[in-house]
Amino acid sequence: MIVLMAAAVIPPLALILYIYRLDSREKEPPALMKALFLGGVLMALPVALAEGVLSWVAGAFAGYRTIYLLLENFIAVALVEEYGKYYILKKRSFDSPYFDYRFDGIVYGTAVSLGFAALENVLFILDGGLVTAIARALTSIPGHCIFGIYMGYYYGRAKSHEVKGDYAAMQTDLSYAVIVPVVLHGLYDFLIASHHTGLFFLYAIILDIVAFRSVVRYAREDRPVGV
């Protein structure tokens, strides 16, 4: 049991530490990071309930396989999960006095996303064992981190627009902070569910390379919000 729990929580914590260490301008307070991580953990429970309800609704289209898979993966899973993360992210950090650099949005976004992923990981691994732990450490956990990176990127831009008083641009980027992760997440799950294994691995590899190269660049080019 101890080994399984360690296998479940170490990968998301390692990725949080990686993103946190990229933030070279000004480290975020541990109390805020813990609040965001735990917020993601707790949000996994209501999200699971909402997913169950929407999956049942999507089941009405089970006779139309493509429509069913699109509804199941883009709406019942991706939209519900990413909006749940976004809700916690905005509620816990948007008005924080510590949110003063654009890259902070990425630090916060990945903390919430990987908190969510950590609880999800525990549940999957307790059921599937070490094989599931290895598979998720290579696919699902980096995936949630990537969705958090792009959510945080647009979230940081939105904060910068708010400071400048450009509220229309702020709302646009807040919308992108949900839409972009939903599209990336939905396609990720859709390719798995539709058994396009080759396309899935190609997509996952490209997504990993682009996202993790981009986040290094975002950290290097970081600047205060409003600048």
pLDDT confidence of residue 2: 74
CA 50, CA 56: separation in Å to the nearest integer?
Answer: 10
Q: In this predicted structure, what is the pLDDT of residue 130? A: 77
The pLDDT-based confidence of 70 (bands split at 50, 70, 90) is: very high
* Mean pLDDT, all residues of the chain: 94
| Domain spans, the chain | 2-220
- pLDDT > 70: percent of the chain: 100
Q: What is the DSSP letter of 61?
A: G
Task: Using alpha carbons, select from 99, 114, 106 the residue that is nearest to residue 29.
Answer: 99
Amino acid identity at 117: A
Residue 133: pLDDT over 80: no
100-127: per-residue pLDDT in tens?
Answer: 999 999 999 999 999 999 998 888 887 7
Average pLDDT, stretch 152-159? 98
d(C-alpha 105, C-alpha 219), whole Å = 11
